[in-house]
Structure 1
């Protein structure tokens, strides 16, 4: 087994990762493809940085998502009850195959396309409110409420309950170390709410994803109660959190590249292809979901023992010059095909089409409405979530610069 140097075994600096993960990961990538590190939980892990190695590892069936394959005492993640933990991010085949097949029967392109008009309407309504303000925090006023509205529409959650959902999710994504009880309370509240919501949908189904998941079956197979509740939790948690950061990071990128923003404003139809470059350049997930080898595996010429935690750095892979020319440059003309922001292999994000559609609509509406929008603070004053696993702004203060008159205003 290749030995890592003492420097490579040092703890990861979360503050440095939050401010500029790409410089940190580039240093690891230049030093070699795989490194033994100490994670933010104080436990050892293996960090994989090169594009080819990350892509191959994402699809390697020997790298398990199931926590039961972790070395005892070698992994500490979020402690969830079984009714929230039995989701696709913790499963391997055959359970993963069975549940994904069942979900895909309900999470159809038709179901997603039906959301296009409501997403556009919600974006326009949020921008109507923003238009009355000279300055706003775009995370609070736009990037966060848009996805939570979309996900709650998808699941059939009543508008009155949506603020609770957002609060619970925020408590789980960025737990307060000084108040650990908040995360535990959020888990309990979310489980209780989802259980009651499912019971209500079972009694009185409607035209939403949750009702479809309750009804779906494949021959004699169907989702059990824990799997159903866990899927609803995953759709809410991942569909909200990742899309907030995807939109927020994309807006910041465009604000910092005004000439390219102007090109997109002149031809917004190009946004559908540019979303991939935005996700590559500054995506919401610097790391893929942790993996645990079911046997000793060789990654980049380094032997990783069975059961140890493997972290696949999407942030490092997306800035690998062997895969993307001049990777630290944002370029709307780049063909970003092959980016890994939405996964690869059997764990490719099932909600990817929805996330892309939301982001495209959100950016198109924003660019069209506020052609003179600009950052209200210096880029160095922006603050990011203190997290190794997510990349998202705590706030995005902007000056709106006035709105563009729409046909409805004339």
Structure 2
């Protein structure tokens, strides 16, 4: 089959449960030009070089043919993951001040006990139940509760936030037959969420609390404050990114362990391996499969292929994570793997802002599940997957408990 159709096949939902044979095909053929003029890169060393190349832009406005739906004006500033330095650096540093070092070095670590408490409360809710949906009953509420507390978002608004988030997440898909109306729906949801976040920020301007929104509103750092549009867009990004990737990390992680019972048993015997296991899960089944929004600022050459300025560039991170030229036995899941410099959180200047928090959440969540679920079995395998090929994970993961229903 032609490599010029690889992107269509990767994003086709029929391949969502197992895209890895397609990624192997991509690696075998090097950089692949697609029928629509985009280019796919799936080898580890080429992806790493591009993620650190200042000639590769994250700003869609640098495309030769910008996506009209995504470029539709809505009065909002681009999120810092969609702009380049120096603007990206300024926005990211302002946002990092209340989140992590050097200004708030203990904020994430201080959440550890709260995350453990939330995990225990959710698992207590399994009592007496023989069937559990790991997504709805655990993997979604855990990180969304954490990010709501961290930002200062009222938890009673979680259902509306989930509706908006789902619309935003699904909108960038390029599956065959997709209607541009889906992208407009995503923009509408993003605008609605941004307005909601703006209202919360306006409230905290007069009534500050001990949360990140208050600190972002009142922070008087050396570079001043975020503008109101910048603040609204940044809060939307933090809210969505603060739980969506972690949902997939926890769910993909538990699915992988259930498919590898010998490694699940090993982690129960050797719980000290959990941090290493989470890193391996980020390599083996990463929650972010690809970065579709990269653009060369000038003509470049990758692996002997010339790519023109302004062409859409897709970096298939999940393919690079299984490149045999970088990882020994890459299709084998090894929770004790060494030298595991994966792309689970990207790399370069756009390396995931919330990676420290996601790591803690995944380690706590999987440890709690292994400690309290005696003998869970998959109700179906493969499970139904979410539509997005970018943030890939099960939409539901039904577990059947065969040795009793007590946590």
For the criterion TM > 0.5, the same-fold answer is yes
2:373 maps to: 370
Higher deviation after alignment, 180-189 or 231-240: 180-189
Cα deviation for residue 79 of structure 1 reads 5.1
1:59 maps to: 52
Q: Secondary structure at the match of 1:399?
A: strand
Quote the Cα distance in structure 2 between the aligned partners of 1:390 and 1:276.
17
Cα deviation for residue 73 of structure 1 reads 4.1
What is the aligned counterpart of 2:264 among 242, 261, 264? 261
- Residue 314 in structure 1 maps to residue 317 in structure 2: yes
Going from structure 1 to structure 2, the CA distance change for 1:188 and 1:90 (only over 3 Å counts) comes to closer
2:83 maps to: 91
Structure 1 stretches of 4+ moved >6 Å: 176-179, 403-406
Could you give the per-residue CA deviations for residues 263-318 of structure 1, whole angstroms, max 9, x where no partner exists?
A: 11122222112111001001111102521111111111211111111111111101
C-alpha contact 2:140 2:247 (8 A) present in aligned 1: yes
Q: Secondary structure at the match of 1:315?
A: helix
C-alpha contact 1:251 1:363 (8 A) present in aligned 2: yes
Quote the Cα distance in structure 1 between the aligned partners of 2:224 and 2:161.
30
Quote the Cα distance in structure 1 between the aligned partners of 2:404 and 2:46.
46
C-alpha contact 2:276 2:336 (8 A) present in aligned 1: no
1:127 maps to: 123
Going from structure 1 to structure 2, the CA distance change for 1:15 and 1:67 (only over 3 Å counts) comes to same
C-alpha contact 1:368 1:404 (8 A) present in aligned 2: no
1:48 maps to: 41
Higher deviation after alignment, 196-205 or 10-19: 10-19
Quote the Cα distance in structure 2 between the aligned partners of 1:75 and 1:188.
16
Quote the Cα distance in structure 2 between the aligned partners of 1:368 and 1:26.
36
Cα deviation for residue 354 of structure 1 reads 0.3
C-alpha contact 1:298 1:304 (8 A) present in aligned 2: yes
Going from structure 1 to structure 2, the CA distance change for 1:395 and 1:205 (only over 3 Å counts) comes to same
Quote the Cα distance in structure 2 between the aligned partners of 1:293 and 1:75.
19
Cα deviation for residue 135 of structure 1 reads 0.5
Going from structure 1 to structure 2, the CA distance change for 1:390 and 1:79 (only over 3 Å counts) comes to farther
C-alpha contact 2:60 2:66 (8 A) present in aligned 1: no
Quote the Cα distance in structure 1 between the aligned partners of 2:389 and 2:222.
42
- Residue 328 in structure 1 maps to residue 326 in structure 2: no
Cα deviation for residue 16 of structure 1 reads 4.2
Cα deviation for residue 102 of structure 1 reads 1.6
Q: Give the gaps of 5 or more residues in structure 1.
A: 1-5
Quote the Cα distance in structure 2 between the aligned partners of 1:403 and 1:123.
20
What is the aligned counterpart of 1:8 among 3, 6, 9? 3
Higher deviation after alignment, 271-280 or 188-197: 188-197
Quote the Cα distance in structure 1 between the aligned partners of 2:235 and 2:192.
14
2:34 maps to: 37
Quote the Cα distance in structure 2 between the aligned partners of 1:220 and 1:318.
37
Going from structure 1 to structure 2, the CA distance change for 1:227 and 1:402 (only over 3 Å counts) comes to farther
Aligned-residue RMSD, C-alpha: 2.2
What is the aligned counterpart of 1:225 among 223, 228, 235? 228
Q: Give the gaps of 5 or more residues in structure 2.
A: none
2:386 maps to: 385
- Residue 143 in structure 1 maps to residue 139 in structure 2: yes
Higher deviation after alignment, 67-76 or 166-175: 67-76
Could you give the per-residue CA deviations for residues 64-90 of structure 1, whole angstroms, max 9, x where no partner exists?
A: 01122111346754857342x421111
Structure 1 segment 236-385 matched on structure 2, within 5 A: 236-335=239-338, 337-377=340-380, 379-380=381-382, 382-385=383-386
Q: Secondary structure at the match of 1:19?
A: coil
C-alpha contact 2:147 2:242 (8 A) present in aligned 1: yes
Could you give the per-residue CA deviations for residues 348-394 of structure 1, whole angstroms, max 9, x where no partner exists?
A: 111100000000011000000013111122x14x2212333121111
2:106 maps to: 110
Quote the Cα distance in structure 2 between the aligned partners of 1:91 and 1:200.
28
Going from structure 1 to structure 2, the CA distance change for 1:165 and 1:74 (only over 3 Å counts) comes to closer
Cα deviation for residue 19 of structure 1 reads 2.3
Quote the Cα distance in structure 2 between the aligned partners of 1:37 and 1:337.
31
Quote the Cα distance in structure 1 between the aligned partners of 2:150 and 2:73.
23
Going from structure 1 to structure 2, the CA distance change for 1:96 and 1:384 (only over 3 Å counts) comes to same
TM-score by length of 1: 0.90
Quote the Cα distance in structure 1 between the aligned partners of 2:328 and 2:68.
36
Quote the Cα distance in structure 1 between the aligned partners of 2:237 and 2:267.
33
Quote the Cα distance in structure 1 between the aligned partners of 2:405 and 2:328.
36
C-alpha contact 1:384 1:391 (8 A) present in aligned 2: yes
